[in-house]
Amino acid sequence: MERSGVADLPLHEGKTPRWLIERMKALSSIILRIMYDEYGYKGILVRISDPFWFQSLACVLGYDWDSSGTTTVLCGVLKSVLSSQIDVGIRAVGGKGSEGRRAQDEILEICKIYGFSDEEAYKLRYASRLTAKVDNAAIQDGYKVYHHTMFVCKDGGWAVVQQGMDEDLGWARRYHWISDRVRSFVVEPHEAIVGDGRHSYVLNMVAYESEGCRRASVDLACENPSRLRRILSELSLDNRQKTIEEILGLNMVERRPQMRLKLNPESVNWDALKAAYRVKPSSYEELLALKGVGPATVRGLALLSQIIYGEPPSWRDPVKYCFAFGGKDGIPFPILRRVYDEVIAILDEAYDKSKLGDREKLEAFKRLSSYMDRLGLR
Protein backbone atom coordinates (compact mmCIF):
# COMPACT_ATOMS: atom_id res chain seq x y z
CA MET A 1 0.00 0.00 0.00
CA GLU A 2 1.23 3.49 -0.85
CA ARG A 3 1.37 6.08 1.92
CA SER A 4 1.68 9.26 -0.12
CA GLY A 5 -0.93 11.96 0.42
CA VAL A 6 -2.14 14.47 -2.12
CA ALA A 7 -5.39 16.37 -2.77
CA ASP A 8 -6.03 18.60 -5.80
CA LEU A 9 -7.96 21.81 -5.07
CA PRO A 10 -8.74 24.83 -7.31
CA LEU A 11 -7.95 28.40 -6.29
CA HIS A 12 -11.01 30.39 -5.18
CA GLU A 13 -11.04 34.15 -4.83
CA GLY A 14 -12.34 36.06 -1.80
CA LYS A 15 -11.94 35.87 1.97
CA THR A 16 -13.69 33.78 4.57
CA PRO A 17 -16.30 35.89 6.40
CA ARG A 18 -15.63 36.57 10.08
CA TRP A 19 -18.96 35.06 11.15
CA LEU A 20 -17.98 31.74 9.54
CA ILE A 21 -14.47 31.75 11.02
CA GLU A 22 -15.87 32.22 14.54
CA ARG A 23 -18.34 29.37 14.06
CA MET A 24 -15.59 27.15 12.65
CA LYS A 25 -13.51 27.83 15.74
CA ALA A 26 -16.39 27.11 18.09
CA LEU A 27 -17.40 23.84 16.41
CA SER A 28 -13.84 22.59 15.86
CA SER A 29 -13.07 23.32 19.53
CA ILE A 30 -15.92 21.05 20.62
CA ILE A 31 -15.03 18.34 18.11
CA LEU A 32 -11.38 18.31 19.22
CA ARG A 33 -12.34 18.13 22.91
CA ILE A 34 -14.65 15.18 22.26
CA MET A 35 -11.97 13.46 20.18
CA TYR A 36 -9.38 14.05 22.89
CA ASP A 37 -11.62 12.36 25.46
CA GLU A 38 -12.26 9.45 23.11
CA TYR A 39 -8.89 8.96 21.39
CA GLY A 40 -6.29 11.14 23.11
CA TYR A 41 -3.94 13.53 21.36
CA LYS A 42 -2.37 10.77 19.28
CA GLY A 43 -5.77 9.92 17.83
CA ILE A 44 -6.29 13.55 16.83
CA LEU A 45 -2.85 13.70 15.20
CA VAL A 46 -3.50 10.55 13.16
CA ARG A 47 -6.77 11.98 11.87
CA ILE A 48 -5.24 15.35 10.95
CA SER A 49 -2.66 13.49 8.86
CA ASP A 50 -5.43 11.64 6.99
CA PRO A 51 -6.41 13.74 3.92
CA PHE A 52 -9.87 12.16 3.81
CA TRP A 53 -10.63 13.00 7.44
CA PHE A 54 -9.10 16.46 7.05
CA GLN A 55 -11.30 17.14 4.02
CA SER A 56 -14.37 15.87 5.85
CA LEU A 57 -13.68 18.11 8.84
CA ALA A 58 -13.41 21.16 6.58
CA CYS A 59 -16.76 20.29 4.99
CA VAL A 60 -18.44 19.65 8.35
CA LEU A 61 -17.26 23.09 9.42
CA GLY A 62 -18.90 24.58 6.33
CA TYR A 63 -15.92 25.30 4.14
CA ASP A 64 -15.73 24.72 0.38
CA TRP A 65 -15.11 21.10 -0.49
CA ASP A 66 -13.23 22.03 -3.66
CA SER A 67 -11.25 25.11 -2.61
CA SER A 68 -7.54 25.62 -1.95
CA GLY A 69 -8.68 27.63 1.08
CA THR A 70 -9.85 24.37 2.62
CA THR A 71 -6.25 23.79 3.68
CA THR A 72 -5.16 27.29 4.64
CA VAL A 73 -8.34 28.30 6.48
CA LEU A 74 -8.81 25.02 8.36
CA CYS A 75 -5.15 24.92 9.45
CA GLY A 76 -5.43 28.53 10.60
CA VAL A 77 -8.59 27.75 12.59
CA LEU A 78 -7.03 24.68 14.20
CA LYS A 79 -3.85 26.58 15.04
CA SER A 80 -5.85 29.32 16.76
CA VAL A 81 -8.05 26.88 18.69
CA LEU A 82 -5.15 24.69 19.81
CA SER A 83 -3.09 27.65 21.04
CA SER A 84 -5.74 29.72 22.81
CA GLN A 85 -9.01 27.87 23.44
CA ILE A 86 -8.30 24.27 24.44
CA ASP A 87 -5.46 22.09 25.69
CA VAL A 88 -5.49 18.65 24.07
CA GLY A 89 -1.74 18.07 24.06
CA ILE A 90 -1.21 19.44 20.53
CA ARG A 91 0.04 22.80 19.25
CA ALA A 92 0.42 24.05 15.69
CA VAL A 93 3.05 26.19 13.96
CA GLY A 94 3.39 27.77 10.53
CA GLY A 95 0.68 28.63 8.03
CA LYS A 96 0.42 30.37 4.69
CA GLY A 97 3.28 32.37 3.16
CA SER A 98 5.27 34.29 5.76
CA GLU A 99 3.53 32.40 8.59
CA GLY A 100 4.96 29.18 7.21
CA ARG A 101 8.44 30.68 7.21
CA ARG A 102 8.04 31.45 10.93
CA ALA A 103 7.52 27.78 11.73
CA GLN A 104 11.14 27.25 12.77
CA ASP A 105 10.92 29.95 15.45
CA GLU A 106 7.46 28.84 16.58
CA ILE A 107 8.74 25.30 17.05
CA LEU A 108 11.23 26.63 19.60
CA GLU A 109 8.37 28.31 21.48
CA ILE A 110 6.44 25.03 21.60
CA CYS A 111 9.56 23.20 22.79
CA LYS A 112 9.71 25.56 25.75
CA ILE A 113 6.05 24.95 26.56
CA TYR A 114 6.45 21.16 26.45
CA GLY A 115 9.93 21.12 28.00
CA PHE A 116 11.64 19.47 25.03
CA SER A 117 15.41 19.06 24.96
CA ASP A 118 17.67 20.76 22.41
CA GLU A 119 17.93 17.47 20.54
CA GLU A 120 14.14 17.12 20.32
CA ALA A 121 13.88 20.73 19.13
CA TYR A 122 16.48 20.03 16.44
CA LYS A 123 14.56 16.94 15.22
CA LEU A 124 11.30 18.88 14.97
CA ARG A 125 12.88 21.75 13.07
CA TYR A 126 14.66 19.27 10.79
CA ALA A 127 11.36 17.47 10.06
CA SER A 128 9.65 20.78 9.31
CA ARG A 129 12.38 21.77 6.88
CA LEU A 130 12.72 18.36 5.18
CA THR A 131 9.00 17.87 4.59
CA ALA A 132 8.91 21.20 2.75
CA LYS A 133 12.07 20.37 0.80
CA VAL A 134 10.73 16.96 -0.29
CA ASP A 135 7.42 18.33 -1.57
CA ASN A 136 9.09 21.23 -3.33
CA ALA A 137 12.16 19.56 -4.82
CA ALA A 138 12.15 15.76 -4.52
CA ILE A 139 8.60 15.64 -5.93
CA GLN A 140 8.36 17.96 -8.94
CA ASP A 141 4.72 17.97 -9.94
CA GLY A 142 4.33 21.63 -10.93
CA TYR A 143 3.03 22.75 -7.52
CA LYS A 144 5.14 25.18 -5.50
CA VAL A 145 4.68 24.85 -1.73
CA TYR A 146 3.31 28.04 -0.20
CA HIS A 147 1.58 26.74 2.93
CA HIS A 148 3.23 24.72 5.71
CA THR A 149 1.61 23.81 9.05
CA MET A 150 3.12 21.40 11.56
CA PHE A 151 1.09 19.94 14.43
CA VAL A 152 3.26 18.96 17.41
CA CYS A 153 2.23 16.62 20.24
CA LYS A 154 3.48 16.90 23.79
CA ASP A 155 5.29 13.56 23.33
CA GLY A 156 7.26 14.91 20.35
CA GLY A 157 5.14 13.32 17.64
CA TRP A 158 4.16 15.51 14.70
CA ALA A 159 2.03 15.79 11.59
CA VAL A 160 2.52 18.14 8.65
CA VAL A 161 -0.14 19.50 6.30
CA GLN A 162 1.21 21.62 3.48
CA GLN A 163 -0.01 22.83 0.14
CA GLY A 164 1.50 23.74 -3.21
CA MET A 165 0.04 25.93 -5.96
CA ASP A 166 0.22 25.58 -9.73
CA GLU A 167 -0.22 29.22 -10.72
CA ASP A 168 -0.78 28.44 -14.40
CA LEU A 169 -3.65 26.06 -13.69
CA GLY A 170 -4.93 27.86 -10.60
CA TRP A 171 -5.00 24.56 -8.71
CA ALA A 172 -3.51 23.53 -5.39
CA ARG A 173 -2.23 20.17 -4.12
CA ARG A 174 -2.08 19.12 -0.48
CA TYR A 175 0.54 16.92 1.18
CA HIS A 176 0.04 15.03 4.48
CA TRP A 177 2.74 13.61 6.77
CA ILE A 178 2.82 11.94 10.20
CA SER A 179 5.94 11.12 12.17
CA ASP A 180 4.93 7.58 13.19
CA ARG A 181 4.81 6.47 9.54
CA VAL A 182 8.01 8.13 8.33
CA ARG A 183 10.75 5.51 8.16
CA SER A 184 12.67 7.64 5.67
CA PHE A 185 12.08 11.19 4.46
CA VAL A 186 13.04 10.16 0.93
CA VAL A 187 11.27 6.80 0.42
CA GLU A 188 7.45 6.96 0.14
CA PRO A 189 7.25 9.18 3.24
CA HIS A 190 3.71 10.60 2.98
CA GLU A 191 0.58 9.36 4.70
CA ALA A 192 -2.00 8.78 1.90
CA ILE A 193 -3.00 9.89 -1.61
CA VAL A 194 -6.07 11.91 -2.74
CA GLY A 195 -6.51 13.68 -6.06
CA ASP A 196 -8.85 14.42 -8.95
CA GLY A 197 -6.48 12.84 -11.44
CA ARG A 198 -3.03 11.51 -12.02
CA HIS A 199 -0.52 13.47 -14.11
CA SER A 200 1.58 11.49 -16.55
CA TYR A 201 4.83 13.36 -15.99
CA VAL A 202 6.05 13.95 -12.42
CA LEU A 203 9.65 13.67 -11.29
CA ASN A 204 9.23 11.52 -8.18
CA MET A 205 12.54 11.02 -6.39
CA VAL A 206 10.86 9.57 -3.28
CA ALA A 207 9.27 6.65 -5.13
CA TYR A 208 10.49 3.15 -4.31
CA GLU A 209 11.56 2.70 -7.91
CA SER A 210 13.84 5.77 -7.72
CA GLU A 211 16.22 4.01 -5.33
CA GLY A 212 18.92 3.46 -7.95
CA CYS A 213 18.63 7.06 -9.12
CA ARG A 214 18.91 8.30 -5.52
CA ARG A 215 22.10 6.31 -4.98
CA ALA A 216 23.56 7.51 -8.27
CA SER A 217 22.65 11.13 -7.42
CA VAL A 218 24.59 10.85 -4.16
CA ASP A 219 27.59 9.41 -5.99
CA LEU A 220 27.46 12.26 -8.51
CA ALA A 221 27.20 14.87 -5.74
CA CYS A 222 30.51 13.57 -4.42
CA GLU A 223 32.12 14.17 -7.83
CA ASN A 224 33.93 17.33 -8.85
CA PRO A 225 31.12 19.75 -9.83
CA SER A 226 33.18 21.11 -12.72
CA ARG A 227 32.86 17.75 -14.47
CA LEU A 228 29.11 17.65 -13.89
CA ARG A 229 28.69 21.16 -15.24
CA ARG A 230 30.61 20.28 -18.39
CA ILE A 231 28.41 17.24 -19.06
CA LEU A 232 25.18 19.16 -18.52
CA SER A 233 26.37 21.94 -20.83
CA GLU A 234 27.25 19.43 -23.54
CA LEU A 235 23.67 18.15 -23.48
CA SER A 236 22.55 21.53 -24.88
CA LEU A 237 24.83 21.66 -27.92
CA ASP A 238 22.51 23.93 -29.90
CA ASN A 239 22.60 26.49 -27.08
CA ARG A 240 18.86 26.02 -26.60
CA GLN A 241 17.45 25.13 -23.21
CA LYS A 242 16.07 21.63 -23.63
CA THR A 243 13.49 19.76 -21.63
CA ILE A 244 14.31 16.49 -19.94
CA GLU A 245 11.75 14.73 -22.13
CA GLU A 246 13.61 15.85 -25.28
CA ILE A 247 16.98 14.65 -23.97
CA LEU A 248 15.70 11.30 -22.74
CA GLY A 249 13.35 10.78 -25.68
CA LEU A 250 10.26 10.52 -23.47
CA ASN A 251 6.99 10.25 -25.40
CA MET A 252 4.72 12.66 -23.55
CA VAL A 253 0.97 12.01 -23.72
CA GLU A 254 0.06 14.87 -21.41
CA ARG A 255 1.20 18.30 -22.63
CA ARG A 256 1.16 20.63 -19.68
CA PRO A 257 3.71 23.40 -20.32
CA GLN A 258 4.48 23.86 -16.61
CA MET A 259 5.24 20.14 -16.31
CA ARG A 260 7.92 20.19 -19.01
CA LEU A 261 10.87 20.15 -16.64
CA LYS A 262 13.60 22.35 -18.06
CA LEU A 263 17.26 21.45 -18.17
CA ASN A 264 19.26 24.63 -17.66
CA PRO A 265 22.78 24.16 -16.31
CA GLU A 266 22.82 27.76 -15.13
CA SER A 267 19.81 27.14 -12.85
CA VAL A 268 21.66 24.41 -10.93
CA ASN A 269 23.04 25.65 -7.61
CA TRP A 270 26.70 24.90 -8.22
CA ASP A 271 27.69 26.39 -4.87
CA ALA A 272 25.48 23.79 -3.20
CA LEU A 273 27.15 21.03 -5.22
CA LYS A 274 30.56 22.37 -4.28
CA ALA A 275 29.48 22.12 -0.64
CA ALA A 276 28.25 18.57 -1.27
CA TYR A 277 31.61 17.73 -2.86
CA ARG A 278 33.32 18.87 0.33
CA VAL A 279 30.85 17.21 2.71
CA LYS A 280 30.48 13.95 0.76
CA PRO A 281 26.88 13.09 1.79
CA SER A 282 26.37 9.39 2.51
CA SER A 283 22.64 9.27 1.70
CA TYR A 284 20.07 10.99 -0.50
CA GLU A 285 18.43 12.48 2.59
CA GLU A 286 21.72 14.09 3.59
CA LEU A 287 22.10 15.43 0.07
CA LEU A 288 18.57 16.83 -0.04
CA ALA A 289 18.99 18.44 3.38
CA LEU A 290 21.97 20.51 2.21
CA LYS A 291 21.24 24.21 1.94
CA GLY A 292 20.75 25.29 -1.66
CA VAL A 293 19.88 21.86 -3.09
CA GLY A 294 16.60 22.71 -4.83
CA PRO A 295 14.46 21.54 -7.76
CA ALA A 296 16.95 22.40 -10.54
CA THR A 297 19.82 20.64 -8.76
CA VAL A 298 17.67 17.57 -8.08
CA ARG A 299 16.62 17.48 -11.77
CA GLY A 300 20.19 17.84 -13.00
CA LEU A 301 21.46 15.00 -10.80
CA ALA A 302 18.51 12.78 -11.75
CA LEU A 303 19.20 13.33 -15.46
CA LEU A 304 22.91 12.60 -15.08
CA SER A 305 22.09 9.48 -13.04
CA GLN A 306 20.14 8.09 -15.99
CA ILE A 307 22.63 9.14 -18.68
CA ILE A 308 25.83 8.11 -16.88
CA TYR A 309 24.72 5.23 -14.66
CA GLY A 310 21.58 4.06 -16.42
CA GLU A 311 19.54 4.66 -13.26
CA PRO A 312 16.33 6.47 -14.28
CA PRO A 313 14.13 8.28 -11.78
CA SER A 314 10.45 7.51 -11.36
CA TRP A 315 7.99 9.64 -13.34
CA ARG A 316 5.01 8.24 -11.39
CA ASP A 317 2.68 10.83 -9.91
CA PRO A 318 2.25 9.99 -6.19
CA VAL A 319 -1.54 10.56 -6.39
CA LYS A 320 -4.59 8.27 -4.81
CA TYR A 321 -14.79 13.79 0.12
CA CYS A 322 -19.37 15.53 3.28
CA PHE A 323 -21.30 18.59 3.95
CA ALA A 324 -23.38 19.12 7.04
CA PHE A 325 -24.26 22.82 7.02
CA GLY A 326 -23.63 24.00 3.45
CA GLY A 327 -20.61 25.69 1.91
CA LYS A 328 -19.16 29.20 1.92
CA ASP A 329 -19.81 29.70 -1.80
CA GLY A 330 -23.34 28.36 -1.52
CA ILE A 331 -22.37 24.90 -2.80
CA PRO A 332 -24.11 22.55 -2.34
CA PHE A 333 -26.29 25.07 -0.48
CA PRO A 334 -25.75 28.27 1.56
CA ILE A 335 -24.54 27.77 5.11
CA LEU A 336 -27.43 27.36 7.57
CA ARG A 337 -26.25 29.68 10.33
CA ARG A 338 -29.04 28.90 12.80
CA VAL A 339 -28.52 25.17 12.35
CA TYR A 340 -24.76 25.64 12.74
CA ASP A 341 -25.27 27.49 16.05
CA GLU A 342 -27.78 24.92 17.30
CA VAL A 343 -25.38 22.04 16.66
CA ILE A 344 -22.56 23.89 18.42
CA ALA A 345 -24.80 24.33 21.46
CA ILE A 346 -25.95 20.69 21.41
CA LEU A 347 -22.40 19.35 21.06
CA ASP A 348 -21.24 21.66 23.84
CA GLU A 349 -23.99 20.28 26.06
CA ALA A 350 -23.10 16.72 25.01
CA TYR A 351 -19.50 17.30 25.94
CA ASP A 352 -20.40 18.66 29.38
CA LYS A 353 -22.81 15.81 30.04
CA SER A 354 -20.25 13.25 28.94
CA LYS A 355 -18.43 14.00 32.18
CA LEU A 356 -21.46 12.78 34.12
CA GLY A 357 -21.67 9.28 32.66
CA ASP A 358 -22.43 7.15 29.64
CA ARG A 359 -26.21 7.40 30.01
CA GLU A 360 -26.25 11.20 29.90
CA LYS A 361 -23.78 11.17 27.01
CA LEU A 362 -26.01 8.77 25.06
CA GLU A 363 -29.09 10.91 25.66
CA ALA A 364 -27.28 14.05 24.47
CA PHE A 365 -26.16 12.46 21.24
CA LYS A 366 -29.63 10.98 20.67
CA ARG A 367 -30.93 14.53 20.89
CA LEU A 368 -28.41 15.67 18.27
CA SER A 369 -29.32 12.75 16.00
CA SER A 370 -33.01 13.53 16.28
CA TYR A 371 -32.38 17.20 15.57
CA MET A 372 -30.40 16.42 12.40
CA ASP A 373 -33.16 14.04 11.23
CA ARG A 374 -35.82 16.72 11.65
CA LEU A 375 -33.78 19.13 9.54
CA GLY A 376 -33.19 16.53 6.87
CA LEU A 377 -29.41 16.85 7.18
CA ARG A 378 -28.69 13.13 7.43
- The pLDDT tens digits for 44-84 are 999 999 887 887 788 777 655 444 467 888 999 999 999 98
The answer to whether residue 329 sits within a structural domain is: no
The answer to whether residue 293 sits within a structural domain is: yes
Residues 137, 253, single domain; the answer is no
The answer to whether residue 153 sits within a structural domain is: yes
Residues 143, 24, single domain; the answer is yes
Residues 290, 342, single domain; the answer is no
Residues 278, 231, single domain; the answer is yes
Please tell me which residue, 194 or 158, carries the higher pLDDT value: 158
The answer to whether residue 326 sits within a structural domain is: no
pLDDT digit string, tens, across residues 350-366:
666 656 566 665 666 56
- How many residues does the structure list for the chain? 378
Alpha helices in 266-331 (DSSP H): 270-279, 284-289, 295-309
pLDDT of residue 20: 82
Residues 129, 233, single domain; the answer is no
Domain encompassing residue 343? 337-375
- Nearest to 305, CA basis, from 262, 244, 253: 244
For residue 253, how many other CB atoms are within 10 A of its CB? 7
Say if residue 278's pLDDT is above 80: yes
pLDDT of residue 197: 54
- Nearest to 186, CA basis, from 219, 153, 142, 217: 217
The answer to whether residue 244 sits within a structural domain is: yes
- Nearest to 27, CA basis, from 54, 72, 68, 58: 58
The answer to whether residue 50 sits within a structural domain is: yes
pLDDT of residue 326: 47
Tally of domains within the chain: 3
Residue 2's pLDDT band (boundaries 50, 70, 90)? Answer: very low
The answer to whether residue 321 sits within a structural domain is: no
Average pLDDT, the chain: 80
Partnered with residue 165 across adjacent β-strands are 144, 172
Burial of 370 (0-12, 13-18, 19+ CB in 10 A): exposed
Please tell me which residue, 257 or 299, carries the higher pLDDT value: 299
The answer to whether residue 202 sits within a structural domain is: no
Residues 127, 276, single domain; the answer is no
Residues 63, 166, single domain; the answer is yes
SS3 annotation, 31-60: HHHHHHHHHHHHHHHHHHCCHHHHHHHHHH
Residues 212, 142, single domain; the answer is no
Q: What is the mean pLDDT of residues 208-229?
A: 95
Residues 51, 152, single domain; the answer is yes
Asked which of 18-32, 64-78, 342-356 is least confident by mean pLDDT, the reply is 342-356
Say if residue 104's pLDDT is above 70: yes
Residues 29, 123, single domain; the answer is yes
Burial of 185 (0-12, 13-18, 19+ CB in 10 A): buried
H/E stretch holding 131 reads helix 118-133
Residues 141, 231, single domain; the answer is no
Residue 202's pLDDT band (boundaries 50, 70, 90)? Answer: confident
pLDDT of residue 85: 79
Residues 270, 303, single domain; the answer is yes
Last residue of a domain, one of 142, 174, 197: 197
